[in-house]
Structure 1
Amino acid sequence: MRDRKTEPSTTSGRRREDPLIGVVLLNKYRILSTLASGGMGTVYRAEQLSLRREVAIKVTDKLDEASRKRFIREASILAKIQHPHILTVYDYGPMPEHRGGLFMAMELLQGQTLRDRLKSKGYLSPVELIQIMHQVARGLRAAHRQNLVHRDLKPSNLMLVRQDDGPPLVKILDFGLVKLLNNEDATEVTQAGSVVGSAQYVAPEMIVGAEMDHRADIYAFGIIMFQALAGRAPFDEPTVVNTLRAHVNNPVPPIVSFNEKAKVPPSLESLIRSCLAKSPADRPSDMDEVGRALHACEWELGSIAHRSLPPASIPAPPMPVPRAGLAPWKTATAIVVSALLASLGTWTAQRKGWLGAASPTAAVLHIESQPPGASVRNGSEVMGTTPLEIPLDNASLARTPLRLSVQLDGHTPVDITQGPARENQRVVVVWVPSLSSPSRPAASN
């Protein structure tokens, strides 16, 4: 949960009167101070006694049944999603000693929301926007892969987290309106006939009551990009009803019509218009496609550095020993390429569009493989398949390096150890045949 000292919800005198300040909840959390208050309760800064770390705790009063279901559903979903770009929930449950309320213990985030950034700056440059939205895309991709649709994506739900060493890290907040797809038993906690989400960011299919899926989030993603560049959302009428009608009926206006100073490359405006297509079928199919398009925009902006990126630390893989009865050229050896070779690297980058520049928001570890589709594991957790981008949390990596294993059936696993990095890291794992005779040519596996 975010820590926003600039927007206190109560005066200091009223904070001292809060009966929970100084109390130890559930024998686990000591309440230290108030962070914010809202219609569903209060968010406190607290200390988790067992781990001696500061956390944010949302505490509610007794809720009606619909609000209670929404709260529990959001907490249970966030507790299961472990991703660098999604708010982490540590604990949640009932609080019988607090008027029958509920609590949710979360990571304490310090920084500002994208909404606050836009209020202070007016609008963002394409380079700054792309670096932020890359991280949002990765977080949404993780949620969508679990059949979760956020449904309330907007700048106030995107937190730009300050880090001790390096640029901000983006976190997606507030999964209170999340929808689980392909779940007939899922309980919808909104009123029948109502439109969920925020009027400026809701997709047309949600407005007309048509079937919706993860592409509703892609629509909101496009609205946020438009707003960040133009200084205002494309559909923002005086009334909610007119705003909803505009989403369904009105064409997307040119960004420059709202912001004459905006210098938006054609590829970026094209991506935004694609995300804002009225029909979900005309939008990008998933966040992977959006991510590739963002990389193409970086190329057009010239923000990708055509130079070798510093390598991660990669132990040399052992040479495999062919098993008896197996043709020797079917046993593959892994070759790890940790820097761009002048011609091959440039060609690969242009072909795949997966290389990133040293980012002003967060360094990223790019992992590719030939053949592609290798799983990247962190212990027992599968983080994804190649090509894959992993954001680097330098504060965490300074304490414990990231240890990954790149694995592909029939091939020798390759281990990668990654520590803190100020620039993007790129690793290419290439499996090539191990030949028993120099007369036989190398063949791709």
Structure 2
Amino acid sequence: MARQKDPWIGRVVAGRYQVTGTLGQGGMGTVYEAEQLGLGRIVALKVLHPHVAQTPGAAARFQREGMWMARFKHPGAVHVFDHGQEGEDFYLAMERVEGFPLNEILDSYGLLEVKTAVELAARVLEVLDAAHGVGLVHRDLKPSNVMMVGDASAPRVKVLDFGLAALVHEEKSSRLTEKGQVLGTPAYMSPESCRGEPVDSRADLYSVGCLLHELLVGRPPFGDSPEVEVMSGHLYRPPPPVRQLMPERGIPEAVEALVLASLAKAKTQRPASARELAARLREALTETKREPTTSGPGGPAPTAASRPVAVIEPDGTAPAHGVSTALAVAGYQVLPRREQDSLEGMGALVVVPRGTHALEEALALASTLAQRPHAPPVLLCGGGEDFTVVSRAIASGVYDYVPLPLDPTDLVRKVGRALRSRR
């Protein structure tokens, strides 16, 4: 049976946003890709689910999100351009963000290197600090609402979906949220949120604790059990210490202490602010920067003194192969390069073909670069079935071969071996 076409595709909303595709769905609504007619700007158009719009206060909260997010300016938050209502449909027109949500990174590449996980949490806290400064509380922070964007050599974060955001100074008098109404995603909700109580900025700090817990050990503190059990854990059970769950990760004791402080049942026992928690997390890394850490099955994590890894990766291949992203997630400094660029100071070089039929071209390039004086070890990516190419690559001076589709653990292990070969 043919799948029914989404009636929103092709629709022009408010006379200026033509819907061209679907980006994703969430509990509050569907996010479409759309073109803003007249400007040619591509936007993300978030449309509230009809059944959600009919629940008490939902439409008003959605409109309020648009109003306040349009005023809230921060490079780590999604910029809202416009909001409104057409008939019974409510919409937000937002910045179209290209990147990788943290949940997809965890699923595809495994655990982040410890210092990368802590730094990402600190950057999320910087966005939350700015939001808290204008009275906004996110209330639904989780890996799918945090996206890594920008150059793989210096990834940035974007905090998405303030769809459940509350204005602290209006919460007590507002009727938009019914008393006792539970909002959020259970695995990341604070105890006060589980009880349906009014929340303040410290609820977001608890969610950051849950997020960082997952980035460090692969799961939130109370796992993926049924919702009732998860919420019971938030309310009554102590969170499991991350160092105890994964002693082989070498997580600094000071980082674990801050995760546990963020997960305190009483909000008064959590850090005072997002800014304070971010600063203390970075201090914890600085104080323990000489402690050995590991990045799981990929082998030892790179140190701060590791030479950068150059990647010759054609435009547009990063989402398909994810070579630069996998290395950045593992904690390496990744520098995009072209074949004519200098490789001086590089610890290793990874060459990615331009397509399935361009392996010969990539092999020739990798072989040429490997012959340069003082060239770093060169790794070539290509189809995993062509053993003839593998043999020719090694014979021509290529250090190692990385099969595609990419196994991030295999890539990280081979790059780590190449870096160690230069010591």
Asked whether the two chains share a fold, i.e. TM above 0.5, the reply is: yes
Q: 1:170 aligns with which of 137, 140, 157?
A: 157
Counterpart of 1:71 in structure 2 is 62
Q: Deviations over 1:135-183 (max 9, x none)?
A: 101100011111121111111111122x267533211112122121122
Q: Hey, which of these two has a bigger chunk of helix by percent?
A: 2
Cα contact 2:84–2:92 (8 A) shared by 1: yes
Spell out structure 1 runs of 4+ moving beyond 6 A: 303-306
Letter paired with 2:276: E
Q: 1:92 aligns with which of 69, 80, 83?
A: 83
Q: Secondary structure at the match of 1:115?
A: helix
Q: Distance in 1 between matches of 2:196 and 2:101?
A: 30
Unmatched tracts of structure 2, length 5 or more: 291-302, 306-330, 336-423
Q: What percentage of residue pairs aligned between the two structures are identical?
A: 37
Q: Distance in 1 between matches of 2:30 and 2:194?
A: 31
Report matched runs for 1:202-281 at 5 Å. 202-208=189-195, 212-236=199-223, 238-281=225-268
Q: In structure 2, do the counterparts of structure 1 residues 69 and 302 end up closer, same or farther at CA, with 3 Å as the change threshold? A: same
Q: Hey, which of these two has a bigger chunk of strand by percent?
A: 1
Cα contact 1:86–1:172 (8 A) shared by 2: yes
Q: Distance in 2 between matches of 1:121 and 1:294?
A: 24
Counterpart of 1:310 in structure 2 is none
Report matched runs for 1:95-106 at 5 Å. 95-96=86-87, 100-106=88-94
Letter paired with 2:96: L
Q: Distance in 1 between matches of 2:49 and 2:282?
A: 46
Q: In structure 2, do the counterparts of structure 1 residues 359 and 138 end up closer, same or farther at CA, with 3 Å as the change threshold? A: farther
Letter paired with 1:92: H
Q: In structure 2, do the counterparts of structure 1 residues 95 and 360 end up closer, same or farther at CA, with 3 Å as the change threshold? A: farther
| 1:180 lines up with 2:180 in the alignment | no
Cα contact 2:77–2:160 (8 A) shared by 1: yes
Counterpart of 1:193 in structure 2 is 180
Q: Distance in 2 between matches of 1:64 and 1:251?
A: 37
Counterpart of 2:130 in structure 1 is 142
Letter paired with 1:244: M
Q: In structure 2, do the counterparts of structure 1 residues 59 and 202 end up closer, same or farther at CA, with 3 Å as the change threshold? A: closer
Q: Deviations over 1:117-148 (max 9, x none)?
A: 12223322211112211210110001111112
Q: Distance in 1 between matches of 2:159 and 2:29?
A: 20
Cα contact 2:181–2:196 (8 A) shared by 1: no
Letter paired with 2:64: R
Letter paired with 1:64: Q
Q: Secondary structure at the match of 2:169?
A: coil
| 1:288 lines up with 2:278 in the alignment | no
Q: Distance in 2 between matches of 1:210 and 1:64?
A: 22
Q: Distance in 2 between matches of 1:254 and 1:282?
A: 17
Q: In structure 2, do the counterparts of structure 1 residues 40 and 302 end up closer, same or farther at CA, with 3 Å as the change threshold? A: closer
Cα root mean square deviation, aligned = 3.0
Q: In structure 2, do the counterparts of structure 1 residues 222 and 61 end up closer, same or farther at CA, with 3 Å as the change threshold? A: closer
Q: Secondary structure at the match of 2:199?
A: coil
Which sits farther off after the overlay, 244-253 or 129-138? 244-253
| 1:118 lines up with 2:119 in the alignment | no
Q: In structure 2, do the counterparts of structure 1 residues 248 and 116 end up closer, same or farther at CA, with 3 Å as the change threshold? A: same
Counterpart of 2:317 in structure 1 is none
Q: How far does residue 186 in structure 1 lie from its aligned partner after superposition? A: 5.1
Unmatched tracts of structure 1, length 5 or more: 1-10, 307-357, 363-445
Q: Deviations over 1:244-296 (max 9, x none)?
A: 22222222222133334321011111111111122222211011211211221
Letter paired with 2:43: V
Q: In structure 2, do the counterparts of structure 1 residues 61 and 176 end up closer, same or farther at CA, with 3 Å as the change threshold? A: closer
Q: Deviations over 1:292-329 (max 9, x none)?
A: 112212313428979xxxxxxxxxxxxxxxxxxxxxxx
Q: Distance in 2 between matches of 1:287 and 1:280?
A: 13
Cα contact 1:274–1:283 (8 A) shared by 2: yes
Q: Deviations over 1:69-100 (max 9, x none)?
A: 2321222221111111111111110113xxx2
Q: In structure 2, do the counterparts of structure 1 residues 199 and 53 end up closer, same or farther at CA, with 3 Å as the change threshold? A: same
Report matched runs for 1:395-406 at 5 Å. none
Q: Secondary structure at the match of 2:62?
A: helix
Q: In structure 2, do the counterparts of structure 1 residues 41 and 231 end up closer, same or farther at CA, with 3 Å as the change threshold? A: closer
Q: Distance in 2 between matches of 1:253 and 1:166?
A: 33
Alignment size in residue pairs:
295
After TM superposition, the score normalised by the length of structure 2 is 0.63
Q: Secondary structure at the match of 1:110?
A: coil
After TM superposition, the score normalised by the length of structure 1 is 0.60
Letter paired with 1:101: D
Q: Secondary structure at the match of 2:287?
A: helix
Q: How far does residue 65 in structure 1 lie from its aligned partner after superposition? A: 5.2
Letter paired with 2:134: Q
Q: How far does residue 200 in structure 1 lie from its aligned partner after superposition? A: 1.4
Q: Distance in 1 between matches of 2:105 and 2:160?
A: 16
Letter paired with 1:224: L
Q: How far does residue 185 in structure 1 lie from its aligned partner after superposition? A: 6.9
Q: Deviations over 1:352-375 (max 9, x none)?
A: xxxxxx99699xxxxxxxxxxxxx
Q: Distance in 2 between matches of 1:191 and 1:122?
A: 39
Q: Distance in 2 between matches of 1:197 and 1:26?
A: 30
Q: Distance in 2 between matches of 1:76 and 1:192?
A: 23
Q: Secondary structure at the match of 1:183?
A: helix
